[in-house]
Amino acid sequence: GAVVSQHPSWVICKSGTSVKIECRSLDFQATTMFWYRQFPKQSLMLMATSNEGSKATYEQGVEKDKFLINHASLTLSTLTVTSAHPEDSSFYICSPKDSYTEAFFGQGTRLTVV
């Protein structure tokens, strides 16, 4: 299977600060990147979809100014949680996809805002 590297695996930050999560597709070109959020004991909820070189499309209810997505290359996408608050504490998962196969998933990032 494809190799996806997501970092960091966990992060603790203070309320009001920003956190950047990186997602790299190591052996394929991710023309599309999905970012999901998962609260404890719940399912994965799609936050946004981005195509390389284009602005991300956000799902209803997801603040685009709070969750900044950059997909500047075919192997790297970042999600920045700006001015984080305790309610942003969650498990964030990237899911890169190329043009030929179905999506793969990163290992996830556990964000805790204190």
Partner 1 sequence: GENVEQHPSTLSVQEGDSAVIKCTYSDSASNYFPWYKQELGKGPQLIIDIRSNVGEKKDQRIAVTLNKTAKHFSLHITETQPEDSAVYFCAASHYNQGGKLIFGQGTELSVKP
Binding site for partner 1 (CB under 8 A): 1, 4, 6, 32, 34, 42-46, 49, 91, 93, 95, 97, 102-108, 110
Q: Could you tell me the smallest distance in angstroms from the CB atom of residue 86 to partner 1?
A: 20
Return the exposure string of 48-79: e unless at least 16 CB atoms fall within 10 Å of the residue's CB, then b. Answer: bbbebeeebebeeebeeeebbbbbeebbbbbb
Q: Could you tell me the smallest distance in angstroms from the CB atom of residue 44 to partner 1?
A: 5
Give the residue with the Cβ less far from partner 1, 82 or 93.
93
Q: Could you tell me the smallest distance in angstroms from the CB atom of residue 7 to partner 1?
A: 12
Give the residue with the Cβ less far from partner 1, 16 or 39.
39
Q: Provide the Cα torsion 114, 85, 43, 23; round to 10°.
A: -90
Residue 87's nearest CA partner among 63, 112, 104, 67 is 112
Residue 56's nearest CA partner among 34, 83, 30, 25 is 34
Give the residue with the Cβ less far from partner 1, 11 or 82.
11
Q: Could you tell me the smallest distance in angstroms from the CB atom of residue 8 to partner 1?
A: 13
Q: Which two tokens stand for residue 23?
A: 């997602």
Give the residue with the Cβ less far from partner 1, 76 or 105.
105
